Structure 1
Amino acid sequence: MTTDVSHTTGLTPAVLQGLIKDGAGPRLLDVRTPGEFRTAHIPGAYNVPLDTLREHRAELLAHLDQDVVLVCRSGARASKAEQALAEAGLPNLRVLDGGMMAWEMAGAPVTRGEARWDLERQVRLIAGSIVLVTGVVGVLVPGVHLIGTAIGAGLTFAALTNTCAMGMLLSKLPYNRGPRTDIRTVIASLRDRS
């Protein structure tokens, strides 16, 4: 049984809860890092990090023959995943409006694991620390403050383009990767649920 989910539209947490209540709802693909996924995810979701999804979208396509809802922290990465899957020819895509933040705020069910900092918080820590240190050191060493200015420019660019080079770099760290998502295991699980 499939639900009526059309391409390029969002889905509120309340509507998604109703769709998955009976267990026959759409497939949920969580495109966050494995570390973020292990911290908290929607029960029944499959973890396919955005980079993995982009790399293996053709393989996934054959096993996503029903409605798919894409999930991330806030909706930005899920929108990028939607674009990648739509370009590969997958219809019936939706993005969870507000991502896991909205899902948790709605009091929806969550499977929890070991707490970890999400990427956005890590970016704020690293960027803020660099600006703070270069600002203090810049009092004694002329020109060092320009490093903080460069970080500010990078954050501005990240906001304007809805991309984040620092976040992409941090997502590669072992802390955020955890065990690498094995696409064969994900595909086997998708096949078994069919």
Structure 2
Amino acid sequence: MTDITPAELKERQAAGTAPTIIDVRETWENAEASITGSQNIPLGELPGKLDDLEHLKNEEVVVHCKGGGRSASAKAFLQQQGFQNVRNLVGGMQAYQQA
């Protein structure tokens, strides 16, 4: 699945069709700014949260971090765990805030 741009994500949110959004930044980063409706699961905690995310294996999931690096790792990890439709937010939170 291709990654998602901030503009596309904002359009989907405005239309009420936003996918599940997972913020893989640290909790303190999420506290500073977050995407409405996202859930915060820091990258290091992701393996321990797989059971909680099992129901999303066939759903569209968008992962994001500050700039795209950690979320690229999260995307690869989730795909290895059998998640079928994981997309990385291009440019991360920085790009989303500017879009």
What's 1:104 paired with?
Answer: 97
Match of 1:72 among 45, 60, 65: 65
CA distance in 1 between partners of 2:93 and 2:73 (Å): 16
What's 2:32 paired with?
Answer: 39
Output one character per residue of 1:126-145: Cα deviation in whole Å (capped at 9) or x when no partner: xxxxxxxxxxxxxxxxxxxx
Identity of aligned residues (%): 38
What's 2:43 paired with?
Answer: 50
CA distance in 1 between partners of 2:28 and 2:68 (Å): 17
Structure 1 gaps of 5+ residues are 1-5, 107-194
Scaled by the length of structure 2, the TM-score of the pair is 0.92
What's 2:55 paired with?
Answer: 63
CA distance in 2 between partners of 1:70 and 1:21 (Å): 18
Output aligned runs, 1:118-137, within 5 Å. Answer: none
CA distance in 2 between partners of 1:61 and 1:55 (Å): 10
- 1:82 paired with 2:75, answer yes
Query: Is the strand fraction higher in 1 or 2?
Result: 2
Query: Is the helix fraction higher in 1 or 2?
Result: 1
RMSD over aligned Cα, in angstroms? 1.2
CA distance in 2 between partners of 1:68 and 1:75 (Å): 15
Number of matched residues?
A: 98
**Per the alignment, in what secondary structure is the counterpart of residue 20 of structure 1?**
helix
CA distance in 2 between partners of 1:80 and 1:50 (Å): 8
Structure 2 gaps of 5+ residues are none
Match of 1:19 among 12, 30, 44: 12
Letter of the 1:38 partner, please give it: A
Scaled by the length of structure 1, the TM-score of the pair is 0.48
1:80 Cα deviation after fit: 0.6
Output one character per residue of 1:60-80: Cα deviation in whole Å (capped at 9) or x when no partner: 342214200001000000001
CA distance in 2 between partners of 1:98 and 1:38 (Å): 19
1:100 Cα deviation after fit: 0.3
CA distance in 2 between partners of 1:51 and 1:23 (Å): 30
Letter of the 1:19 partner, please give it: R
